[in-house]
Structure 1
């Protein structure tokens, strides 16, 4: 059986001595899956089972069970190695989009500069040879193409160099240590930062498990309704929506004398340490998508460079439309001409993808806010505490219980030999037999 990371994390967080109910409530896993996972983990790391006099089972694990697993299974070692490699590879992928943007700008600036200088030199040479009035163009090479000369001058690579360098220095001094760098910000600007609710189901079941634990294993449906999404007008009244909760945590429905349903979860009532009330949100709140986690200054810089890249692509395209220019310069310009459509496509996508994504984010956030509003609305039933709700809560409290298994309650453990345990518990065994004899005499 594949070991569940959630189970291993729960075992560590609970102090390496757990019950099935503890792990199921902590991780939000199906209780049967938690039981099978604990058995598999105990088997793999030579863990121990402790049986209480009540028949409940406690799982005891060594503190270094992760090291034992790594030494035992090459697959786990390979997985951990691959995760480290993938982390580096993904970082390279993330920064590659910013590198391509900068490289594209530099290539097009060089190409445009080479073309303009070459054309001006050629025109000056022709003017000198013919002795015509073309000499009036000397020193004014950038105005040979009046439609683009001003734009080229504005975006000349040395224009405002000191100003940009100085502002960059200020930004680097004030930048928070945890803030992403510019190359990472470009990826964030293009594609965002992933799904903020990637672990929504995990959060949902952890929250429900905590609610059950906080109420000592006995609840009413309205207490978990704010964490569920499978509620509609058809199952709201008959409480069918709680069936997945009962299945996952092995719960049982109980009917009150008034015909009202409450639910209790015996296996979540057994623990090895006293449970305290844990703070929890009153409803499951989905996180809204952000357009980007990057700072506003980096977003503006990405937009500015993206716009510059697009304008340079248009300027370069106006030159490359003339086949004679490509034929005249060959070499580097011929190479740029061969990849021009890639440069233009990247420039268009760099501005187009975030624009489309902006509207997608707005649409997604609208749906998320609607679902959050529905869940929040279900908390009002508990807050109002109508007479029906009050009766159900009172009846549920009758089933609330917390069975804490102490070390003195252990009847058997796999840590020691059976004979050794019988010797240690000789007095307890004698007392048990004496109770049975007294019961027979009476």
Structure 2
């Protein structure tokens, strides 16, 4: 970046690297639900959401509500009393896919091997204080230091000048408060921003750590969670609907199936973009 861009980056930063995070979140959740037959447990959605504590993961499933509203889902109770979540608009799983999910639950396979290549948890990027390199930052700091030194020297000189001097001296005296604000803000703004960036990064790191922990729980679930996930896979049904769903079959022409697949992807994107 050029020198002016370096100054702007140092003082004001370079923007949010997590712009579009919500869109990515809903995309991952939608793909995960769809790849698992449209029926999932709350624990499976936790790695993509913003849970504040691990207690919510174990005792409070209210964090699933935004997902239910986004994808028109509904809670259902299985025979063992577990709460499962069905999303009819995302059901397109064949019976062969369900058998694979059962194999994961029953044989302690790694969860990451059965999520269809989908990222197993949502990871936020940490904020950067500035994208300037060391040499660019040194030049910017040098400029700021020079400005600050110049204001201090100018202030000392103006104290020794007589008040009745006019012309250019009077003009400098009138704008001197602005020069002081400029010189001070050159370092004050980055200092405040550094504290804010540090605080935000600590929160981002906490959220990422919790999501990663939830994903690890799913890799090796305990007996009760295994049975709950297995129940969700059993509840997932093969959905066959005329024009608005895709069901692949070896009896149909591959071109016809590809055309309908594109239509399904279009409908899926419409669901993703549905306002909350």
Same fold (TM over 0.5): yes
CA distance in 2, matches of 1:396, 1:325: 84
Q: 1:406 to 1:229 in 2, by over 3 A?
A: same
Alignment of 1:281 with 2:119, yes or no, is: yes
Within the candidate set 190, 199, 217, 1:354 is matched to: 190
Written as runs of structure 1 = structure 2, the 5 A alignment for 1:203-218 is 203-218=24-39
* 1:195 counterpart (10, 16, 21): 16
1:246 shift after superposition: 1.7
**Contact 1:182–1:298 at 8 Å: present in 2 too?**
yes
**Alpha carbons of 1:197 and 1:338: their partners in 2 closer, same or farther (altered >3 Å)?**
same
Q: CA, structure 1 residues 307+246, in 2 after alignment: closer, same or farther (shift >3 Å)?
A: same
Equivalence for 1:297: 135
Q: Which runs of 5+ in 2 are unaligned?
A: 98-114, 247-276
- Quick check: 1:306–1:350 contact (8 Å CA) kept in 2? yes
Q: Residue 395 of structure 1: CA displacement?
A: 2.0
Q: TM-score, normalised by structure 2?
A: 0.71
Task: After superposition, give the CA deviation of every residue in 1:73-114 in whole Å (9 maximum; x if it has no partner).
Answer: xxxxxxxxxxxxxxxxxxxxxxxxxxxxxxxxxxxxxxxxxx
Q: 1:254 aligns with which of 69, 76, 91?
A: 76
Contact 2:38 2:92 in 1 (8 A): no
Match of 2:175? 339
| Aligned partner of 1:223 among 24, 34, 44 | 44
1:238–1:295 CA distance, 2 compared to 1 (3 A): closer
- Match of 1:143? none
2:59 to 226, 232, 237: 237
Which residue, 307, 310, 326 being the options, matches 2:148? 310
Q: Which runs of 5+ in 1 are unaligned?
A: 1-179, 411-442
Q: How does 1:44-55 map to 2 (within 5 A)?
A: none
- State yes or no: 1:376 paired with 2:212: yes
Q: Runs of 4 or more off by more than 4 Å in structure 1?
A: 401-407
Q: Mean alpha-carbon deviation: is it higher for 390-399 or for 344-353?
A: 390-399
* Distance change (3 Å), C-alpha of 1:248 and 1:342: same
Tell me if the contact between 2:9 and 2:132 (Cα under 8 Å) persists in the aligned partners: yes
CA distance, structure 1, for counterparts of residue 57 and residue 215 of structure 2: 17
- The one-character-per-residue Cα deviations of 1:370-422 (angstroms, maximum 9, x if unpaired) are 22212222122211122222222222222335657788x99xxxxxxxxxxxx
> Could you report, residue by residue, the CA deviation over 1:114-152 in whole angstroms, capped at 9, with x for unpaired residues?
xxxxxxxxxxxxxxxxxxxxxxxxxxxxxxxxxxxxxxx
Structure 1 residue 291, shift from structure 2 partner: 0.5
Structure scoring higher RCO (CA < 8 A, sep ≥ 6) equals: 2
CA RMSD of aligned residues (A): 3.0
Q: Is the contact between residue 231 and residue 241 of structure 1 (CA under 8 Å) also seen in structure 2?
A: no
SS in 1 for 2:58: coil
Shift of the alpha carbon at 1:331? 2.8
Alignment of 1:149-168 (within 5 A): none
CA distance in 2, matches of 1:404, 1:317: 81
Distance in structure 2 (CA, Å) of the matches to 1:336 and 1:295: 35
In structure 1, the partner of 2:203 is: 367
> Please, what TM-score do these two structures have when normalized by structure 1?
0.46
What is the 5 A alignment of 1:176-191? 180-191=1-12
Equivalent position of 1:171 in the other structure:
none
